Chains A and B, each alone.
Chain A
Amino acid sequence: MVPLSWYLVLSAVLFALGVAGFLFKRNIITIFMSIELMLNAVNLSFVAFSYHWKQIGGHLFVFFVIVVAAAEAAVGLAIILCVFRNRQTLNVDDLETMKL
């Protein structure tokens, strides 16, 4: 049986990758994917803990997170589409003002 710590380490590595991608990538779609990665890293540790402690709470939270992530993906991709239509760019460094 795989010990809990392995899952946690994997989760931490995935989360750190997500953070790194969020911080260092310029493409807004890549940043968006990094956010998804962080969410799923957290999901992984939820599931691992839930299995380890034999409790249903972690699973419940994962479902919530998946639902929220799906909604967020829908809204976020729509925003990205709008931004691209207006600015003709996906580079976040060019998007630092709120003015259109």
Chain B
Amino acid sequence: MSGPLHLWLIPALPLAGFLVNGLLGRRFSKRAVNAVALTAVALSFLWTLRVFAAAGGLTEPHVERYFTWIESGALSVAFSFYLDRLTLVMLLVVTGVGAIIHFYSAGYMAQEGGYYRFFAYLNLFLFFMLVLVLASSYLLMFVGWEGVGLASFLLIGFWFRRPSAARAGNKAFLVNRIGDFGFSLGMFLTFVVFGSLEFQTVFAKAAGASAGVLTVIALFLFLGACGKSAQLPLYVWLPDAMEGPTPVSALIHAATMVTAGVYMVARSAPIFSRAPLAMEVVAAVGLATAFFAATIGLLQTDIKRVLAYSTVSQLGYMFLALGAGGFAAGIFHLVTHAFFKALLFLAAGSVIHALSGEQDLRKMGGLAEKIPITCATFFVGALAIAGAPPLAGFFSKDEILIQAFQRSPLLYAVGVLTAMMTAFYVFRAVFLAFYGVSRVSEEAAHHLHESPALMTVPLMLLAALSAAGGFLPVGQYLEPVFQGAARPAAVSHGLERALMAVSVLAGLAGLTLAWLLYIARPGLADRLAQGAGGLYRLVLNKYYVDEAYGVVLVRPIVAVSTHLLWRAIDAALIDGAVNLVGRRSVGAGDLLRRVQSGNIRSYAGWVVLGAIGLAAGMGVLLVR
């Protein structure tokens, strides 16, 4: 490694794209907007590749310091970027998948209004995501963290004239706020305990800190991760975030932003790995989320929502890996998941595009021949997420399950069950959308068409990555980063083989079940649903979690805000006090106005009275 790496270029390029498109894009043609946005992202990706080529082999973190950002008392935060192998992996995923999705968006959004706005936001998102990944301190990471939240909010509500989209944007923002609150508290505590927010300082000092303090910090940070990465109990915003345009769902709400929590926990491995209780919590929450979201995914009818719950579930898998001590395994799954989930979303987008906006699986079917490229790529993505060897998902999921097995067989059993459900719901979507009888409305069937090359080429690229991504040696590559963290011992070869076989069988079982219910015996699914009765309705309505939150949290808060905070305190007390002072002033003025009669002799009389009063007062004082 020779000379500076100019890491700042990586986020600066999308920022420049955002500024140019955001400020001037209204006057640009679509072609010009494309040129700016796509060039910015592509150059950012190329620079990342250059950095990787120059510094890919680094074993010690490389910090590039630009300037002192905040200097106040004991707090000193530098604006600097931190590069190690974990950062590099994230950079490659974010800029690589980001670039592919930018190109796809150029095709997908071609007919939409607000074109420049969309690409400006997308570039803005990439900028903040790259700041988050490159940050060398918790504070700078928090800037990126909030920034991606903002970009996510803007893009979920991209079609802001649709009330449901605007509401979904608000919901995402508010739910994330709870998580951010945890992150902030974790940060404050970190500063109080370690006197710094820089990663290197904090991690160096973490070795000597007590487990109790580290546990509290880790739990607060994990609360932040739960918000951003949609874990129980804060996952509710992610399915609603599907109101945004599909490329946004692919980039932000599947491949990159929602994995920020996973990245943050992995980055804080020196803290987490010394807090066993926090690790247990991470693993438990991850597993519960993985299982819970997968069950909801089983019955969703909106193709994007199936994928959304699948994302929540897969994120749960990543946290399960982190909690079990397999930081590298979690990041590996993050990478492969970015490939295949982006692929699934983009392919779903291509389906929606082909059907002129239809998202309901019940109104699809038999599309395989009409849109073969989309179908084939979706199929690859489905195989990858279901864990079919030798596709990407097989390797990463397997590594997680092995970690879970070493932790406890129970974690493993639930993990395998979740894997089976994953295979089931994703192939249910495949069969309902692409095979069987066509239930497409005539209107949509008339316009049915394969997507343009600008969309299918990114699909094929991602399909290739999803197929081959499992061979990337991410785990070994990341080893130097997680050296300090306790790693579970390797399992014997035979056991590994057996575990692999079990998870493949589970995936196969899920696939077969989906095939049986939706292709071989159509109608069986409905009869089963009727047989299950209450349970079916419970899952179909997503366990009524949104409704429960509404009754337990939202409505009381709104009621307190309306009746107490607004009407009683703000309107009655504060406004009342101000108005009272105003009214009294007017009244006093009305009285005093009478003194100003314009009669000079009455003024003179007042002067005399005043003089006499003054003289009398002085006389009294003197006599005393």
Contacts and interface: CB of A to CB of B under 8 A. Distances in A.
Contacts of A23: 601, 604-605, 608
Interface in B569-624: 597-601, 604-605, 608
Contact of B599 (A19, A22, A24, A96): A96
A77 interface: no
A22 B603 CA distance: 11
Contacts of A97: 598
A51 to B, nearest CB: 24
A22 B604 contact: yes
Contacts of B600: 92, 95-96
Contacts of B599: 93, 96
Contacts of B597: 96
A64 to B, nearest CB: 22
A93 B599 CA distance: 7
* B-side interface size class: under 10
Contacts of B604: 22-23
B597 to A, nearest CB: 8
Contacts of A96: 597-600
A91 B456 CA distance: 101
A5 B605 CA distance: 27
Interface in B382-436: none
B604 to A, nearest CB: 6
Nearest to B605: A23
Interface residues of A, number: 9
Classify the secondary structure of A's interface with B.
Answer: helix
Contacts of B605: 23
Contacts, number: 17
A8 to B, nearest CB: 14
A23 B609 CA distance: 12
Nearest to A26: B601
Contacts of B598: 96-97
Contacts of A24: 601
Contacts of A95: 600
A92 B601 CA distance: 9
Interface string B164-206: 0000000000000000000000000000000000000000000
Contacts of A93: 599
A23 B597 CA distance: 15
A19 B608 contact: yes
Contacts of A92: 600-601
A92 B608 CA distance: 18
Interface string A2-30: 00000000000000000100111000000
Contacts of A19: 608
Interface string A37-52: 0000000000000000
A97 B596 CA distance: 12
Nearest to A96: B598
A89 to B, nearest CB: 15
Contacts of B601: 22-24, 92
A25 to B, nearest CB: 9
Nearest to B599: A96
A23 B601 CA distance: 5
A39 to B, nearest CB: 15
Residue of A23, A24, A97 contacting most chain B CB atoms (<10 Å): A23
B601 to A, nearest CB: 6
Residue of A24, A92, A93, A96 contacting most chain B CB atoms (<10 Å): A96
Interface in A82-100: 92-93, 95-97
B472 to A, nearest CB: 92
B488 to A, nearest CB: 96
Interface string B539-561: 00000000000000000000000
B349 to A, nearest CB: 79
Nearest to B598: A96
A92 B597 CA distance: 14
A22 B602 CA distance: 11
A28 to B, nearest CB: 10
A93 B604 CA distance: 13
A100 B605 CA distance: 25
Contacts of A22: 601, 604
A70 B349 CA distance: 99
A11 to B, nearest CB: 15
A56 to B, nearest CB: 27
Nearest to B611: A19
A97 B597 CA distance: 10
A98 B600 CA distance: 11
Residue of B598, B599, B601 contacting most chain A CB atoms (<10 Å): B601
3 shortest interchain CB distances as A-B pairs:
A96-B598, A96-B599, A23-B601
Given A23-B601, A96-B597, 5 more contacts: A19-B608, A22-B601, A23-B604, A24-B601, A95-B600
12 contacts: A19-B608, A22-B604, A23-B601, A23-B605, A23-B608, A24-B601, A92-B601, A93-B599, A95-B600, A96-B597, A96-B598, A96-B599
Interface of A: 19, 22-24, 92-93, 95-97
